[in-house]
Amino acid sequence: MAKHEELPIPVYASLDPVYGNGSQLEEASLRFDRIKAKFLELFGRDPEVFARSPGRVNLIGEHIDYEGYSVLPMAIRQDTIVAIRRNKGEKVIRIGNLNDGKYPLCTYPADPDQEIDLKNLKWGHYFICGYKGFYEYAKSKVVDTGDLVGLDILVDGTVPTGSGLSSSAAFVCSSTIAIMAAFGVNFPKKELAQLTCECERHIGTQSGGMDQAISVMAKIGFAELIDFNPIRATDVQLPDGGSFVIAHSLAESQKAVTAATNYNNRVVECRLASIVLGIKLGKKPEEAVSKVTTLSDVEDLCVTFAGSHGSTDPVLAVKELLKEEPYTAEDIEEITNQSLESIFSSSPTSLDVLKAAKHYKLHQRAAHVYSESRRVHAFKDTVSSNLSDEDKLKKLGDLMNDSHYSCSVLYECSCPELEELVKICRDHSALGARLTGAGWGGCAVALVKESTVPQFILNLKEHFYQSRIDRGVINKNDLGLYVFASKPSSGAAIFKF
């Protein structure tokens, strides 16, 4: 029997395999009806096929996927739906949105070689990421896509943007899958996860692959331990009696816009930390620069060093070999015998980081990555242990709290609003709470006892959201969009009605 990640994206003729039954199914049916009606209004014909991909909440394992380490997310019910039809009359890509007041119609040439202007990003460029990626992949697999044709597309997303819940990955994944379905082909989930990760790099983000992997490979009722190189997913059954509540800090995280100073900056700092550690642990500078790209590449060296000091923790090597004070570019160049520009010469987004950076905190970033990767496996080991469900939940909460401290203090990817929200969660009975997603805004995730969820959400409303409602930051009637409980939901799907 094929492994889960080797199966193609499922194709359904009805909504219930994804949306279940009851009110959630009714809501989804109405939504698809609205999408079909808007598509007909815009383009004069019905869509041929629909694709959907969910957002995700990362339970633990932040900023370590791009360093090659496992992460532990779950899909949420909020998703992005893309309706699509080939248009053989015009070689134009027309992308509409159900929320056309916020997202106006975008038009692009039907040209997979077109460049995306990173200095002038538009919402439709996320679809173009998937479009370019599909053609690159099809070419590599010698898939005949025929002559170039136009595409008519309508998008509807319920994953809040800038929330840290992977609205961009849900959009890119659903777009890629919709294009694939429109051309009558289907690829294995693990290949789609890798493809869509590479797609998002067209928008200028050096993504590690977690967001795309869980969106494509999620299963109802399970969180997933996502491993990389190669990509694979292991089901993780969460203990009974607990529920995850996701709460938006209302500080929007603009990952693509602030990449040079935030997200991509940390990718560069981790690469530099891994190179310097490699050199300190015996590699020649030119070998370290050419062969070491992630902290996972030098973990074995760090563990060997720790072993000579009576430990197995790679963080010991970080403490001994990387100074806590920030490194200047000159400090690092003296160790590597190369300019930073030459080290990153093949990565324009990394060169943007170098232009913006004043210094590099190598010690703190490496300490976070190594300790966070251990917390991920401690989380999974706890779930599968013989502890009582109550003791499991307490241990998982402790790990989430430790993760937030590391993200906030060592990785510095929090913000004042997230710090306030996480504290309020803990003050009102959360077993654990942490920022989730890239950080610098977006959401927190809290583990609470299932029986206390309604009261917990009321407490968040009173102590965090009410003052923002009073100031007009959000509308009281929209609160359910910003704070909600979630169970593990299903992954990407194709619908043909």
**Which residues form the catalytic set?**
211
| Residue 225: strand pairing partners | 234
CB 383 within 8 A of CB 238: yes
Half-sphere exposure of 112 (CA within 13 A, CB side): 17
Report the alpha-carbon distance of residue 69 to residue 66 in Å, rounded.
7
How many Cβ atoms are within 10 Å of 240's Cβ, its own excluded? 10
CB 310 within 8 A of CB 402: no
| Residue 332 identity | I
Provide Rg for the chain, Cα atoms: 23
Per DSSP, the residues of 270-301 read: HHHHHHHHHHHTT--HHHHHHH--SGGGGHHH
Residue 77, classed as helix, strand or coil, is strand
The residues near 469 (Cβ < 8 Å, ≥ 6 apart) are 475, 476, 479
Whether the bond between 230 and the residue before it is cis, its omega within 30 degrees of 0, is yes
- Helix or strand (DSSP H, E) at 302: helix 299-307
Among candidate residues 60, 55, 63, the one with its CA nearest the CA of residue 169: 55
How far apart, in Å, do the first and last CA atoms of the chain sit? 28
